[in-house]
Amino acid sequence: MEKEIVKKGKLIIFTAPSGAGKTTIVRHLLKTVDGLAFSVSATSRPKRDHEVDGKDYYFLSPVDFRKKVDAGEFLEWEEVYTGQYYGTLKSEVQRLLDEGKHVIFDIDVKGAVNIKASFPENSLAVFVKPPSADILFDRLRQRGTETPESYRRRVQRATLELTYENKFDIALLNDDLEVALAEAERIIHSFLE
């Protein structure tokens, strides 16, 4: 697959700690930049009420996820929280490339590092940086979607993920959303040209 990806399209990787705004930025880019297609990740975590299988994630049981890992079906994967796996299916990326699209990812920092390492010449990895750790933690708290335990886990993970900033091609500060969206468009247009 690696050779086909290099021949067919470019990979645009957006990563950040939860709450930094990467999903908002990726959704904006999908609406404003021609030729992009979103790589839907797979997960073994339970589906939330508003989520749609195949659109938000491919929801798999932990057993089915591990079977796909063992069969080599993932470009990258990780057990993010105990028993909760996330990953990028090779078949998903190949499907989008076969459609003639450039693939955009919204993934965690470790997955982003792995994809960038596999395709250093054909990918752009953007780290969405919050103005500060405190502002990031406030954003997570204000979501109102976390239990005290899940909030604690997210803060712990985000603290580690913030240390990854220098592993990526570009750090995009998301202090003012409109400025960040415009800068993201500029970055992507420049990379695709």
Q: What is the pLDDT of residues 128-179, one digit of tens each?
A: 999 888 887 887 777 767 788 877 887 888 888 888 899 999 999 999 999 9
Residue 30 clears pLDDT 60, i.e. is over it: yes
CB half-sphere exposure, 50, CA atoms < 13 A: 1
In Å, the largest CA–CA distance within the chain is 46
Residue 181: partners with Cβ closer than 8 Å, 6 or more residues away: 25, 28
Report residue 7's pLDDT band, with 50, 70 and 90 as the boundaries.
low
Residue 25 clears pLDDT 80, i.e. is over it: yes
End-to-end CA distance of the chain: 24
CATH architecture of 2-192: 3-Layer(aba) Sandwich (3.40)
Q: What is the pTM of this model?
A: 0.86
